[in-house]
Chains A and B, each alone.
Chain A
């Protein structure tokens, strides 16, 4: 059903047709799969790069001017690319790794390339939130740098890290939709093929609902966990 020949109300009603939703099961699965795998990769590498930036930064535990500025520059370069350009750029890389340049797994690489730098910056700013005094206290007790990172900085900033990760997951969800245009499948693919190319706006609406729900669940979970930790610690 299309908005071209039906009223908005009719399209909305049609968008709840069970047939449409049955066909959406697989694409939703693909989107969730892409989001989960990409999120794990982004979390892992984002934290590593973020920690690297924090400790090598000018006020860090181990200031290293050249590596810090080099990685900072690299991140800025990757972040200045629009997500769509990153997807196109990563096509040869995906072909190298998976043997084909399209499909769900291929797009995960593009998502990682685009979202790791973003999350690394978020991690960096979260980790820098920690009071200098706490690090000083940890040092005065005789902690080495590794202990300061794993036992003080990360646990202390954990709620903030979770909130940052929520932001990253949401932008990963939006990027999976974009990746749908480039043969990654998922909800974005349905929205483009049916909603855009065939004017089937009922399906488009159904895609919108799902995306809204996915983002709400992500944000809700993130807030819940981070607030629960803050409450346990008596900080709110």
Chain B
């Protein structure tokens, strides 16, 4: 069953009279419980696509359904409630520097007016899941990149969402930390059955964690299917390019022990 259903999604940015078609009719289905990868070069429209799913960006036309809910038809308060079911992780972590790790993870529950005891229980549980139990009193400013992203993931998961959007979550991390974070995402996916949409320009990340993937180029999906199919038998030039870059990259990274 498809959990995310996107049909003919279009988005155009207008700045100073210039029109920039970022998304030119996206059709996409993501199945419940899978890790779906979207890959594309910079400027392909990946982040915009991700942001249209929780309506951080309002698309111009098309439909977006998440878990059967038509995101575009929601009114403001319904949208806020729906967003609580969609966790999002960012490349720059976007943690709140004014809050400790504990308070960062607690934030989504706080704004949803959970009772204090319930917040504590959930935060401790989530912190343990991401391996941050000993850092709860630290401020994000004192954490490493990998730890920051763990906080970001914990914050996105504490509401027990059904969908996790990872917008270049590992792109600012070193290879080793990337693997750890990807392992964590896989583990979470297996444990809770959460659907994960992984947006990235890193082949390793997709190859390592995804079941199915789509290749985005120039605002269009030019290829989609299982990861193995696309890597072994690319149908488009970009897909081919990615596969080629990957094999070349792999021969280098093997010696560096990236472990893929």
A residues at B contact (CB < 8 Å):
131, 133-134, 136-144, 147, 151-152, 155-156, 158, 232-235
Q: Is B61 an interface residue when CB atoms closer than 8 A count as contact?
A: no
Main secondary structure of the interface of B (DSSP, over half): mixed
Task: Please state if B94 and A133 are interface contacts (CB–CB under 8 Å).
Answer: yes
12 CB < 8 A contacts A-B: A131-B92, A140-B56, A140-B86, A142-B81, A142-B82, A142-B83, A144-B111, A151-B110, A156-B96, A158-B98, A233-B97, A234-B141
Task: Please state if A234 and B111 are interface contacts (CB–CB under 8 Å).
Answer: no
- Chain B residue at minimum C-beta to C-beta distance from A230: B141
CB distance from B225 to the nearest CB of A (A): 29
| Set B92, B98, B155: member contacting A141, Cβ < 8 A | B155
Please report which residues of chain B, range 7-27, place their CB below 8 angstroms from some CB of chain A when the two chains form the complex. Answer: none
Whole-angstrom CA separation of A131 from B96 in the bound complex = 10
Contacts of A235 in B (CB 8 A): 97, 139, 141
Whole-angstrom CA separation of A147 from B110 in the bound complex = 10
- Chain B residue at minimum C-beta to C-beta distance from A147: B111
Main secondary structure of the interface of A (DSSP, over half): helix
Task: Please state if B86 and A134 are interface contacts (CB–CB under 8 Å).
Answer: no
- With A136-B56, A139-B83, A158-B98 already in contact, the answer to whether A233 and B90 are too (CB < 8 A) is no
Contacts of B159 in A (CB 8 A): 141-142
Q: Is B112 an interface residue when CB atoms closer than 8 A count as contact?
A: yes
Contacts of B96 in A (CB 8 A): 134, 137-138, 152, 155-156
Whole-angstrom CA separation of A144 from B112 in the bound complex = 10
- With A140-B56, A142-B108, A142-B112 already in contact, the answer to whether A134 and B139 are too (CB < 8 A) is no
Whole-angstrom CA separation of A136 from B92 in the bound complex = 11
Task: Please state if B108 and A155 are interface contacts (CB–CB under 8 Å).
Answer: no
| B interface residues, how many (CB within 8 angstroms) | 31
CB distance from B157 to the nearest CB of A (A): 11
Task: Please state if A140 and B54 are interface contacts (CB–CB under 8 Å).
Answer: yes
Please report which residues of chain B, range 149-169, place their CB below 8 angstroms from some CB of chain A when the two chains form the complex. Answer: 155-156, 159
Q: Is B142 an interface residue when CB atoms closer than 8 A count as contact?
A: yes
Whole-angstrom CA separation of A136 from B94 in the bound complex = 8
Contacts of B86 in A (CB 8 A): 140
- With A144-B80, A233-B139, A234-B141 already in contact, the answer to whether A155 and B88 are too (CB < 8 A) is no
- 5 nearest interchain CB pairs? A234-B141, A234-B142, A137-B94, A155-B98, A142-B83
- Chain A residue at minimum C-beta to C-beta distance from B85: A142
Which of A136, A137, A234 has the most CB atoms of chain B within a 10 A radius of its CB? A137
Task: Please state if A141 and B97 are interface contacts (CB–CB under 8 Å).
Answer: no
CB distance from A31 to the nearest CB of B (A): 34
Contacts of B107 in A (CB 8 A): 138, 141, 151
Q: B136-148: contact bitstring with A at CB < 8 Å (1 yes, 0 no)?
A: 0011111000000
Which of A141, A144, A155 has the most CB atoms of chain B within a 10 A radius of its CB? A141
Contacts of B54 in A (CB 8 A): 140
Task: Please state if B83 and A141 are interface contacts (CB–CB under 8 Å).
Answer: yes
- With A139-B83, A140-B83, A151-B111 already in contact, the answer to whether A133 and B90 are too (CB < 8 A) is yes
Whole-angstrom CA separation of A136 from B82 in the bound complex = 15
Q: Is B84 an interface residue when CB atoms closer than 8 A count as contact?
A: yes
| Set A131, A133, A141, A232: member contacting B111, Cβ < 8 A | A141
Q: Is B99 an interface residue when CB atoms closer than 8 A count as contact?
A: yes
Contacts of B156 in A (CB 8 A): 141
Whole-angstrom CA separation of A155 from B110 in the bound complex = 15
Whole-angstrom CA separation of A214 from B129 in the bound complex = 53
Whole-angstrom CA separation of A147 from B99 in the bound complex = 14
